[in-house]
Structure formats: structure tokens, C-alpha cells
Amino acid sequence: MSQDQKTWNFSAGPAVIPRPVLERAQRELLNWNNCGCSVMELSHRSPEFESILSKAEQDFRQILSIPKNYKVLWMQGGATAQFSAVVYNLLGSFDKTADYIVTGAWTSKAVEEAQRLGARVNVVANTKSTGHNGALPPISSWEFTPPSESAYIYYTSNETVHGVEFPDDEAFFSSLPAGVPVICDMSSNIMSRKIDITKYACIFAGAQKNIGPAGVTVLIIREDLIGTRVNPSLTIPIMLDYKICAENNSMYNTPPTYSIYIAGLVFEWLQSIGGLAAIEALNLRKSSKLYDTVAKSDGFYRCPVKEGYRSRMNIPFRIYGKDGQASKELEGKFLKEAEGRGMVQLKGHRSVGGIRASLYNAMPEEGVDALTGFMEEFRRANV
């Protein structure tokens, strides 16, 4: 690809970062804020880095309207480390049951890890038999653990691999047993729309989709849950301990300073374009354009996920041949031609196949227009 060609990066993560953020990071690379050093070279104990961390937290809180009784923690080990951390920090004891709602690959992994650590898991609903196509049974049929025996309810708001966005609306929250902490893996749709933080006990998100580069995981946790629900039968590895992380202002050890710095720039960028209200409208417009292109293709493109559960962030689709079957040959041709036009990282996850277009916050509408234009052209040439 020539250096002048515009590239549209549809990766599911690590993913596209807003162009103005990369340009600013480039300008500031060698000499941040006239301190004579790169952020990469600053001690995490320096006043300069402390100012970066506190500004990032302040902006993150402002964007998501995080109430004062919630702590923001910056952790490591990716979102995967949180699959273990929630069990260590929030299960309470092995007498309790943890409820998981499984809508795709990532909650399945979280269940496996909870079970591996010895937790009693109740899978409240599971879409595995449908290939995780979003077809959840009605909430009224879900069998939650009674509140007195329940440690928490866990779900993933956006299943990145399968392209399923969880229907976490008023109807969902009002159906939950009262008083049970709700934990959400929001790795792939955090900051993509407005949410009511008070509905949650704990939200976590790996950074490498809507926040910034890989290497840091952000946690939003209700203060009263920190250190009060640990499982006395387990010794928490020090790096997974929420209390130690909170007591040390997320700096028990060296945090991923550069990732946090870039996350801070992403927050400033999001504020500058109008925050969650603006990005939510944009995300809806972008994803609707792509789903409309699929819908109007007379079955040439097909999205496996049921309407009502389709993700605005990750859109998987298959390409069908004249024989009415998904065609790997056409999909290969599509990917090759798309790449030739600067549209990269569109290959579907290996477990799902086909194509997956990830349209995170930083993907400009122009990129979606380029993709839908190409899809239409490709369909006409290959139908």
C-alpha cells in the first residue's frame, strides 16, 4: 500500500485510534509539555506523570458521569485478568453462586475461569446452541440465583467475536434480583453510548478498542465493594487485588504509562467532538449504514446475528454464492480487493469466519461510506 493511500482500519482490537490523537502523540513524542523527555521516559512517580494520570481519570469520569462513590482503577493483564479478578475480589465465598449470562466467546471464557478457580457458576442463559446469534430466551424465563445466595450477576455488554450487543436496557435491569451486584465486561463498547453507572457494581474494559492502546484495563467499581467481598479461601495474587490497587492509586507497581497517556488523549478527543451524546448518534448512523447495505443486498451479504442484538461496534457478515452457501472463495476475493483499496483487517474471527467490520468510536463515517460503497460495487460484480 502506498504511503499516501488512505487506510481504513476495521480491526476488532487493537483497533483504530483517532487520527488527531496519533498526530498529537507524534508532536509530543520527544518532548512532552516542554519537560524535555518523552512520556515513555517519565517516572510514574514524577509529578508530570501524576498529572497525566489524574487528568485522564478526571476526563474519563466526566465523559461517563461516574458518581463519586465509584473508584476508577487502572489495571494490567488485559480484560482476561479480570475474569479471575472478579472471582477473587467479589465472589465472597465458595458458598455463594455467581450468575453468568452467556452471549458469546468472552463470557464463555469468563465462566471457564470462574469454574477453574472453584466458583459455583449458574449459567442463567446461554446462546451457544444458536452459535451465539443473539437469540436470548425471554428474560422472564431466566433462573437467577436467589439474592441471599448470589455473589453477582455477570455479562458482556458487547461480544466482540460474535457481534452481539447485549440488550441491557431498562427491562433488563428491572428484571434482575434486587441488590445483587452487576458486573459487566464492557471492553468493546465502553464510551460508545450513554450508560447509567449506578446500575453496575463493577465495569471493566480492556483499552484496545474505544480507549486507546493495549496494556491497560480500566475498572469502574463501587467503593463499598472494594475489599469487602473477597473470598477468604483464596489468596489474591497481588496484581489482581482491587484493594491494593485502590490504596496505591493504581500504582502499586509501574503502570503502563504510555498507554494511560494515550487513553487520556482519546478522552480529550471524545470530549472535543461532543462526548457520549455525539458519539452515540454517530455510532448508530455508521452501523445502520452497514446493516442497511447488508439488508439491501438480496441475500448476497448476510449477518448471522438476530435483529435487536446486532452490535454497533463489531459487524460480522458472510458472503453467499449462487449455490446459496456462504462462499469462502468470494470472501477471500472480497478481503483481497478491500485491502487493495486501503480497507484492512476485515477478516472475521477464526471461530466465526467470513468478514467482520469493527466500527469503534475512532472509525470515521467516511471509512464506513468507503466500505459500504465497495460492498455494493463488489456485489454487482460478483452476484
Ligand X SMILES: Cc1ncc(COP(=O)(O)O)c(C=O)c1O
In 3D space, the residue among 120, 125, 83 whose CA is nearest the CA of residue 100 turns out to be 125
- Out of 59, 99, 113, 185, the only residue in the binding site for ligand X (CB under 6 A) is 185
Could you please report the per-residue DSSP string of 315-370? EEEEEB-TTSSB-HHHHHHHHHHHHHTTEE--BPPTTT-SEEEE--TTS-HHHHHH
Catalytic option among 8, 32, 74, 106: 106
Q: How far is the CB of 106 from ligand X (least distance, A)?
A: 4
How far apart are alpha carbons 95 and 120 in whole angstroms? Answer: 8
Q: For residues 156 and 327, which CB has a smaller minimum distance to ligand X in the complex?
A: 156
Give the Cβ contact number of residue 271 at 10 Å.
14
Catalytic-residue membership of 99: no
**What is the DSSP code (8-state) at residue 184?**
E
For residues 102 and 111, the answer to whether their CB atoms sit within 8 Å is yes
Q: For residues 217 and 231, which CB has a smaller minimum distance to ligand X in the complex?
A: 217
Is 255 a binding residue for ligand X by CB under 6 A? The answer is: no
For residues 239 and 252, the answer to whether their CB atoms sit within 8 Å is yes
**Range in contact with ligand X (rule: CB under 6 A) among 49-57, 185-193, 250-258, 368-376:** 185-193
How far apart are alpha carbons 355 and 17 in whole angstroms? Answer: 21
Q: How far is the CB of 380 from ligand X (least distance, A)?
A: 34
Catalytic-residue membership of 59: no
For residues 130 and 98, the answer to whether their CB atoms sit within 8 Å is no
Q: For residues 242 and 334, which CB has a smaller minimum distance to ligand X in the complex?
A: 242
Q: For residues 287 and 297, which CB has a smaller minimum distance to ligand X in the complex?
A: 287
- Out of 163, 206, 304, 348, the only residue in the binding site for ligand X (CB under 6 A) is 206
Q: For residues 12 and 375, which CB has a smaller minimum distance to ligand X in the complex?
A: 12
For residues 122 and 143, the answer to whether their CB atoms sit within 8 Å is yes
Is 345 a binding residue for ligand X by CB under 6 A? The answer is: no
Is 210 a binding residue for ligand X by CB under 6 A? The answer is: no
Q: Where are the beta strands (DSSP E) in 18-171?
A: 70-75, 97-102, 120-126, 150-156, 158-159, 164-165
The residues in 97-126 that bind ligand X, with binding defined as CB under 6 A, are 106
Is 89 a binding residue for ligand X by CB under 6 A? The answer is: no
The residues in 216-235 that bind ligand X, with binding defined as CB under 6 A, are none
Is 13 a binding residue for ligand X by CB under 6 A? The answer is: yes
**Range in contact with ligand X (rule: CB under 6 A) among 25-33, 38-46, 58-66, 76-84:** 76-84
Beta-carbon-side half-sphere exposure of residue 250 (alpha carbons within 13 Å): 22
254 by Cβ neighbours in 10 Å (0-12 / 13-18 / 19+) ranks as exposed
Q: How far is the CB of 81 from ligand X (least distance, A)?
A: 7
Residue count at the site for ligand X (CB under 6 A)?
11
Catalytic option among 96, 209, 286, 347: 209
- Out of 127, 145, 187, 297, the only residue in the binding site for ligand X (CB under 6 A) is 187
Q: How far is the CB of 239 from ligand X (least distance, A)?
A: 14
Residue type, 177: P
- Out of 127, 133, 150, 156, the only residue in the binding site for ligand X (CB under 6 A) is 156
Catalytic option among 59, 99, 168, 185: 185
Catalytic-residue membership of 185: yes
**Range in contact with ligand X (rule: CB under 6 A) among 74-82, 128-136, 190-198, 373-381:** 74-82
How far apart are alpha carbons 258 and 96 in whole angstroms? Answer: 39
Residues annotated as catalytic are 106, 185, 209
